Amino acid sequence: MPAGPSLYDMLLGQIDGEPLENFDDRTLEALSVQQNVRRILNTRAGALKHLPDYGLPDLTNIYRSLPASSQALKEQMEASLLKYEPRIRAIEVAMIDTPDPGLQVSFEMTCHLRRAGLVRFGTYFVPPGIFRLERRVREGKV
C-alpha cells in the first residue's frame, strides 16, 4: 500500500504520478490527514521547543515495556492527535493483532473527520521507534 502523498507530490499537483484532479475531495483530505498524523506520531515530544507536547514521548521506554505499555501509548496517541490535527473531531484507537514478527504493536485508528467523515489508518510501531501508517480502505469508503 502506498505511503501517501509527499509534500513534493502535492506541490507538483500529483499523488504517485496521478494528477490531483483524479481524486475526490474526501480522498485528498484523508491523504492530507494521513500525512499530518504520520508527522505527529513520528515526532518526539520536546523536539519542537514552541510546542513541547507535540508528538509522542520518547518511545524507548514504551518499547522496552511492551506489551504492558501499549495502553499508555494508545492514550498518548489519542491525546496528541486530537490536539494537533484539527480535522479530527473524534478518534478511536484499538490494538490489533500483528502477524509480522518484526512489529511490536499495531493499532487501528478510526478517525472521525469534521468534513470528510470516517477514515481508518493502520498504525504499526516498528523498531527503532518509528510509526508506519497506512490508510485502510474498505469497499467504497475512504
The CATH number for 129's domain is 3.10.450.40
Residue 102 in any domain: the answer is yes
In a domain, 82, yes or no: yes
What does DSSP assign to residue 125? E
| Structural contact between residues 55 and 85, judged by C-beta atoms closer than 8 angstroms | no
Residue span of the structural domain in which 31 resides: 7-136
Find all residues with CB under 8 Å of 118, minimum gap 6, and list them.
Answer: 110, 111, 112, 141, 142
The answer to whether position 117 is within a domain reads yes
Reading the chain (142 residues) residue by residue, the pLDDT tens digits are: 344 555 555 556 766 667 778 888 888 888 889 889 999 998 988 899 999 999 988 877 777 777 778 888 889 999 999 999 999 999 999 988 776 665 667 889 999 999 888 999 988 877 666 778 888 876 444 4
**What is the number of structural domains in the chain?**
1
Coil vs helix vs strand at 49 = coil
Bridge partners of residue 110, in order along the sequence: 92, 120
Q: Is residue 141 part of a domain?
A: no
